[in-house]
Amino acid sequence: MPFVRIQLKEGRSAEQKEALAKEIINTMDSTDFASQDSIRVIFEEMKDEDFYSGKDMK
């Protein structure tokens, strides 16, 4: 059972996340990577104050 974990800043709508999850699941299924029923997509959202990158430190 494949798990696809997506880490991102909060702010996307439930509809956007659902659309992305469907595309990921359909692609994995159509390329025979795994069957749709076995795929899990997990979104892990971070608050702005919990995310930093090097470009933010300049």
Catalytic annotation, pick one of 2, 9, 16, 42: 2
Instruction: Provide the whole-model pTM.
Output: 0.83
Closest alpha carbon to 43 in 15, 4, 13, 11: 4
Q: Catalytic: 21?
A: no
Per-residue pLDDT tens over the stretch 23-45: 999 999 999 999 999 999 999 99
Q: Which amino acid is at 24?
A: I
Q: Tell me: pLDDT of 58 over 80.
A: no
> What residues does each domain of the chain span?
3-50
Instruction: Give the pLDDT mean for 44-55.
Output: 89
Assigned CATH topology for domain 3-50: Macrophage Migration Inhibitory Factor (3.30.429)
Pick 51 or 19 by higher pLDDT.
19
- Output b/e per residue, 5-22; b: 16+ Cβ within 10 A: eeeeeeeeeeeeeeebbe
